[in-house]
Amino acid sequence: MNWQRLWLGFLLPLTVSCRAVGPGEKEAAMDYLLRYGYLQKPLEGPDNFRPEDVIEALRAFQEASELPVSGQLDDATSARMRQPRCGLEDPFNQKTLKYLLLGRWRKKHLTFRILNLPSTLPSSTARAALLQAFQYWSNVAPLTFREVQAGWADIRLSFHGRHSLYCSNSFDGPGRVLAHADIPELGSVHFDEDELWTEGTYRGVNLRIIAAHELGHALGLGHSRYTQALMAPVYAGYRPYFKLHPDDVAGIQALYGKKSPEIEEEEEEEDTALPTTPLVPTEPSPMPDPCSGDLDAVMLGPRGKTYAFKGNYVWTMTDSGLGPLFQVSALWEGLPGNLDAAVYSPRTQWIHFFKGDKVWRYINFKMSPGFPKKLNRGSGYWQWDELATTDFSRYPKPTKGLFTGVPDQPSAAMSWRDGRVYFFKGKQYWRLNQQLQAEKGFPRDIAHNWMHCRPPNTTASDGDADSLVTGIDHSATG
């Protein structure tokens, strides 16, 4: 691959403790940074990275791992990357030590089902470990968990090997990735069957601790920057007197509140109010289905990630599939959901979000002072140079005055590096040529070509490769 040649050729002519870093070690480090979200693979064009991007990715990983921050692949960094860990990304490379919230269940009484158990433990021991994992969370938050033996359950735990018909994320054999889980309200928790699962010993991998970590994801927690927290991405080993870290407790209570001395019985579907916190909306919209096709906004954003927005949620799209769903306010504090448009400038790292008669500006994930600001409300387009003064009073202008063949009142639009503009409405999208005219053969299906969903009763497309390239930074349509 081109990125490997770039990496091996000139990016890391580094030495570690007076020894040269070997090609295999460099390649493994690059794979790690890509897999866990510290680097984003280019979505089109040559597969290469700027040296400063890789150095910054290494620095971010070292900071998150509480290692000396050098931006070089030293022994400690390589060793940390070889430790067993959770299979989920370290989301969006956020430089914060605080717990990260990914979503929540709209109820506090959840069912679970254990579909199978590991072969390395007696069934009774394995079951006891999994039940204890649930209890860590119910001890500190007003949550209850009820096991069911058959049929559907909110949370489903299972063990599988390298590949599974029911899981798109393959495992890698003993070591490295131990388990992974979906965030609310999906409910799948998967463990690597090839691990030596144990209980009460320093040998192998402790099932109780790993299960508690993955249940944290299933309940809505992301990875913690505290290396001793349960929700840290790397497995810290067996701890005989294990208990939740204060960051774990603060995170789960931010989602579901504190546990009262006596919990009164509540209705199964009751949705009680959360404590006031800027990271979680008080009335989240239902979690959207990316395969439904319709979107509120799309943008090519920080670190080359392509973001899709719907309701109170946002997720990333890549040529290999979709990332997990996050609440918008968990990434951009103070930003509402149900956006009209979003546009990012790689030149200034500004993001402008539009909703109604307001515009918000963030530098990557931090809101700029003085925002949100008021705009003339209306359906149309704005155009500006972010480094010059712009008279927004002349905007918005009618969309069809600039673009030909586009739908009325589009739901989203974005500019791309290939000089083309893409419009979205409902379940379809349009591609415009350099004259800003809709091309022949459009509209096409969003779910199939962007979300990698196969529509029912259809065959594969005609090779349309309109997926996920980088955007231009100077226009937004809402």
Lowest mean pLDDT, pick from 90-99, 360-369, 435-444: 90-99
Pure H helices in 65-183: 75-82, 123-138
User: What's the mean per-residue pLDDT of the chain?
Assistant: 76
pLDDT at 42: 57
pLDDT at 394: 64
Domain 290-477 classified CATH 2.60.40.10? no
The average pLDDT across 69-94 equals 79
- Measure the CA angle with vertex 258, ends 256 and 260; round to 5°: 120
Could you tell me which residue, 165 or 275, shows the higher pLDDT? Answer: 165
Provide the pLDDT confidence category of residue 142 given band limits of 50, 70 and 90.
very high
The average pLDDT across 322-328 equals 80
Could you tell me which residue, 335 or 101, shows the higher pLDDT? Answer: 335
pLDDT at 429: 86
Residue 3 has pLDDT above 50, yes or no: no
Instruction: Please tell me whether the overall predicted TM-score, pTM, comes out greater than 0.75 for this model.
Output: no
Residue 263 has pLDDT above 50, yes or no: no
pLDDT at 463: 36
The per-residue b/e assignment along 21-59, b for 16 or more CB within 10 angstroms, e otherwise, is: beeebbeebbebbeebbbbbebbeeeeebeeebbbbbbb
pLDDT at 378: 62
Provide the pLDDT confidence category of residue 401 given band limits of 50, 70 and 90.
low
Residue 108 has pLDDT above 90, yes or no: yes
Eight-class DSSP state of 128: H
Q: Evaluate whether 386 touches 474 at the Cβ level (below 8 Å).
A: yes
pLDDT at 447: 84
The average pLDDT across 138-146 equals 94
Report how far residue 307's alpha carbon sits from residue 11's, in angstroms, rounded to the nearest whole number: 28
Lowest mean pLDDT, pick from 118-122, 216-220, 390-394, 419-423: 390-394
Provide the pLDDT confidence category of residue 395 given band limits of 50, 70 and 90.
low
Residue 471 has pLDDT above 50, yes or no: no
Question: 109-256 maps to which CATH number?
Answer: 3.40.390.10
Provide the pLDDT confidence category of residue 424 given band limits of 50, 70 and 90.
confident
Could you tell me which residue, 464 or 192, shows the higher pLDDT? Answer: 192
* Terminal C-alpha separation, the chain: 38
Residue 360 has pLDDT above 60, yes or no: yes
The average pLDDT across 363-375 equals 84
The per-residue b/e assignment along 104-126, b for 16 or more CB within 10 angstroms, e otherwise, is: bbebbbbbbbbeebbebbeeebb
The average pLDDT across 428-453 equals 81
The average pLDDT across 251-280 equals 54
The average pLDDT across 358-376 equals 84
The average pLDDT across 47-72 equals 82
**Residue 459: CB partners within 8 Å, gap ≥ 6?**
none
Q: Evaluate whether 327 touches 281 at the Cβ level (below 8 Å).
A: yes
pLDDT at 476: 41
pLDDT at 357: 84
Residue 64 has pLDDT above 50, yes or no: yes
> Could you state, in order of their start, the residue ranges of all structural domains in the chain?
2-82, 109-256, 290-477
Residue 228 has pLDDT above 80, yes or no: yes
Residue 45 has pLDDT above 70, yes or no: no
Which of 12-26, 124-138, 150-164, 447-461 is predicted most confidently? 124-138
Provide the pLDDT confidence category of residue 316 given band limits of 50, 70 and 90.
confident
Please list the active-site residues: 214
> How is residue 127 written in tokens?
């079951």
Could you tell me which residue, 84 or 270, shows the higher pLDDT? Answer: 84
- Which residue in this structure is represented by tokens 């974005």? 414
Task: Give phi and psi for 57, each to the nearest 5.
Answer: -65, -45
pLDDT at 41: 63
The average pLDDT across 120-129 equals 93
Provide the pLDDT confidence category of residue 273 given band limits of 50, 70 and 90.
very low
The average pLDDT across 57-75 equals 85
Report how far residue 332's alpha carbon sits from residue 314's, in angstroms, rounded to the nearest whole number: 10
Rg for the chain (alpha carbons), in Å? Answer: 24
Provide the pLDDT confidence category of residue 380 given band limits of 50, 70 and 90.
low
Tell me whether the omega of the peptide bond preceding residue 261 falls within 30 degrees of 0, making it cis.
no
